[in-house]
A and B are shown apart, each in its own frame.
Chain A
C-alpha cells in the first residue's frame, strides 16, 4: 500500500470553501431565478447571500489561479497531447464498460499526475473557462449600469444574463457528475477521504492487476 500526499492544506481548504460557496450560490441563485414560491429563500435574503458568496468565490478563484501558477499543483492542469486520444478512449471505455467488467483502472494516481485525462479536461474547462465566465458575468450583473446599453444590437444585460445562466447550469451539471465520480475511487469514500486528509491511499501501488471497487457494508 502506498500513499501519495496529493492535496496540500491550502488546496483542501480552498476546495471545501469552494464547495460551501457553490451550495450557497446554487441555493440563492435558484431562489432568485425562480423567485416566487414560498419554499425558496426570500428574494431579498437570497440577493445578499448571492452577492456575498459570489464575491468570496471570486476571491477564492483568484487565489486558486495564483496558487496553481506558483506551486507544483499547477502541473496537474498541463495537458500532454501525446497519447491523449488513446487515454481518452481508454478512460471513457473504463467508465462506460470496463468498470462493470471489473477491469483494472487504466490510470494510476501519482504525485506527477493526479487526474486522469477525462478529469483533467473537465477540471481545465471548469476552472479556466466556465469559472471565469461565471465570475465575469456575475460581476457584470453587479455593475450592469456601467455596461454599454447594447452589444451588436443585443441588450448587453441579456447577454450577461444568458451567459450567467447557461454557465450556472453547466456548473451544476459538473457538480452532479463530480459528486458521483468521486465514488468511483478505490472505495466509495476513498476520494472523499483523500480530499479531507490530503493523502491518497492506493492498496495496489504500481500494480497492474485489476482491483475491484469495493462497496463498504
Chain B
C-alpha cells in the first residue's frame, strides 16, 4: 500500500489500516521524524486539541503551560496515586482469579491515550474513593469515541465488520466470550508503533498480545505449528497475524481460525511474498535512507530461506537444463542411428 519509500508511522499494535502515503516528503531526517511524530499524534489521539509539538506525550510528566493539559495531568496523578501501585489487585470472589487494577505509569504516558483524562472513559463518579460498587460499566466502548473519527483512514466501521467475521467474535469457546477491542488493545498501554522501532521489538510486541491468551502455544511440549520448519525462528521473526489474517490485506481485524490460515511456505518465501508486503513494511525510514531502496528490497528478500529463489533465474536455469537434456538426447539418438546404420551395413 505504500510506495516511493513512504512508510507509515501508525504501524499500530492494534493493526489499524495504514494511513495513505502523504504527498510531500520532508528533506531532512530530523524534520521528517518530527513530521511523522506529529502525524502519529494526530492519528493516535485526534480528539485532543493543542498537542502538536511533543513527540513523547506524557501528560503527567510534561512541563507545559497549557491549562488543559495541566488539568489532565493532575487528574491522572490523582488516579495513579493508587492505580500506579503495581500490586493493586484483588481476587475475584466469583472465580478466585486475580483482577489486576494497576496501570503502568510509564506505559500509559507513552500510550496512545496518554493525554486523556481518566474520566474521559471511566465514569465521573470514579473521581472519589471508594468508587461506586457496581459491575464494570460497558461504556468503555472504543467505537464510541473512535467511530466518529474524522480521519477516513481509520475506517472504524470497516474494522468492526472485519472483527465480526473474526474467529474471536465467532468462536463459541467459553474463553472467547466477551471478546472486545480491549482484549487485545490494552487501553492503558497500547501505542502506535514508531518509526525506528526495531523490527524484532515490533514482532515481539505484537505476538505478546496473542500469546497472553494463547499461552499453551509457548509450552515446549506444544505440538502446534509443528509443520512449520524452524518454528522458533518463525515465531521470533513473524507476527502471528501475518498468517492468521486474510492474505489480501495489510492490516485486518478478521483473525482467521487455524484451519483457514495458510500453510504454504512459498506464500512468504518468494519474491512477491506476503511477508514483504507486511512485516517488511515496517523497516524504518532511516534504514531505507541508509541502504538505498533497491538494495533494501533485495536485502530483505535474501534474509528469508527460499529467498534465493529468483523466478527469472529459476525459469531460465530450468529452461537451459531442459534444453541441454533435449540436446543430449538428440545427440544420443543420432549416435544410436549411426551405430545401427553401421551395424546393418557391415
Contacts and interface: CB of A to CB of B under 8 A. Distances in A.
Interface of A: 32-36, 42-44, 47, 95, 99-102, 149-150, 153-155, 157-162, 164-166, 169, 172-173, 176-177, 180, 183-184, 212-215
A89 B308 CA distance: 38
Given A32-B306, A47-B229, A172-B321, A157 B299 contact: yes
Contacts of A215: 336, 339-340, 343
B298 A155 contact: yes
18 contacts: A32-B305, A33-B309, A35-B305, A35-B306, A44-B229, A149-B299, A150-B299, A155-B299, A155-B302, A158-B298, A160-B302, A161-B308, A162-B313, A172-B321, A176-B328, A177-B324, A180-B328, A213-B335
Given A32-B305, A43-B265, A159-B302, 19 more contacts: A32-B306, A35-B266, A100-B335, A102-B338, A153-B291, A155-B295, A155-B299, A155-B303, A158-B298, A158-B299, A158-B301, A165-B310, A165-B313, A169-B317, A172-B321, A173-B320, A180-B328, A180-B332, A212-B342
Q: Which 3 A-B pairs have the closest CB atoms?
A: A155-B299, A158-B302, A161-B308
A98 B306 CA distance: 44
Interface string B310-328: 1001000100110011001
Contacts of B229: 35, 42-44, 47
Given A155-B299, A162-B313, A165-B313, A36 B266 contact: yes
A183 to B, nearest CB: 7
B230 interface: yes
B321 A183 contact: no
Nearest to A172: B321
B264 interface: yes
A162 B310 contact: yes
Contact of A157 (B230, B291, B303): B303
B21 interface: no
Interface in B2-54: none
B79 interface: no
B292 A176 contact: no
A210 B335 CA distance: 15
A99 B336 CA distance: 11
Contacts of B291: 149-150, 153
A165 B308 contact: yes
Contact of A176 (B301, B308, B321, B340): B321
A95 B327 CA distance: 12
Contacts of A101: 338
Interface in B166-199: none
A5 to B, nearest CB: 28
Nearest to B331: A180
A189 to B, nearest CB: 14
B334 interface: yes
Contact of B295 (A32, A153, A166, A176): A153
A165 B264 CA distance: 22
A169 B321 contact: yes
B230 A173 contact: no
B306 A33 contact: yes
Interface in B255-287: 264-266, 269
B335 A35 contact: no
Contacts of B307: 158, 161
A145 to B, nearest CB: 11
Nearest to A46: B229
Contacts of A173: 320-321, 324
Given A33-B306, A176-B328, A100 B342 contact: no
A166 B305 CA distance: 16
B312 to A, nearest CB: 11
A99 B335 contact: yes
